[in-house]
């Protein structure tokens, strides 16, 4: 593991959490969008994160061999997927997107975005982002201390 591995790992976390915050902001912005450019109701989106798998190996005699593989690689976003849960139905026969015929006559399909859920996710992503910033700051301070000690 190199000297800057800590910063590289934390930077993957920063990138992933920033993407999460962008997707959440888009969900909140479209919470009342009843029609997108393709004519469908907006669907909530979410980021799927997985550990990076660069086949790096970190070896130390203090860890069991089974834990060597997969350490110190960081995280990556593998995709942004739509939440396929049902849309929210609101009765408003005067709305231009109201259903005209059938059993749902007069109902409008609103996005499956729950503002409370989005805010909780936003706080979680924000705290994870802050934690990664703290890791980078602490690693930087540690490296600077090492340079100070080495220069004496």
pLDDT by 10s per residue, the chain, length 152: 566 788 889 999 999 999 999 999 999 999 999 999 998 999 999 999 998 865 545 555 555 555 555 555 789 999 999 999 999 999 999 999 998 888 889 999 999 999 999 999 999 999 999 999 999 999 899 888 988 887 77
Model-level pTM?
Answer: 0.81
The DSSP secondary-structure symbol of 75 reads E
What's the pLDDT score for residue 110?
95
Q: What are phi and psi of 115, to 5 degrees?
A: -60, -40
- Break the chain into its structural domains and give their ranges: 5-31+45-82+113-150
pLDDT value at residue 10: 92
């Amino acid at each position: 593991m190199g000297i800057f591995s800590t910063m590289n790992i934390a930077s993957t976390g920063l990138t992933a959490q920033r993407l999460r915050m962008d997707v959440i902001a888009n969900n909140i912005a479209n919470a009342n969008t009843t029609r997108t450019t393709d004519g469908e109701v907006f669907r909530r989106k979410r980021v799927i994160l997985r550990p990076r798998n660069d086949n790096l190996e970190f070896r130390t005699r203090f860890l069991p061999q089974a834990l060597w593989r997969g350490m110190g690689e960081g995280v990556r976003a593998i995709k942004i997927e739509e939440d396929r849960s049902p849309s929210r139905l609101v009765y408003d026969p005067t709305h231009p997107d109201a259903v005209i015929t059938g059993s749902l006559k007069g109902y409008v399909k609103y996005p499956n975005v729950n503002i409370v859920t989005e805010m909780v996710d936003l706080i979680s992503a924000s705290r994870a982002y802050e934690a990664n910033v703290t890791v980078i700051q602490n690693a930087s301070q540690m490296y600077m201390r090492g340079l100070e000690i080495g220069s004496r």
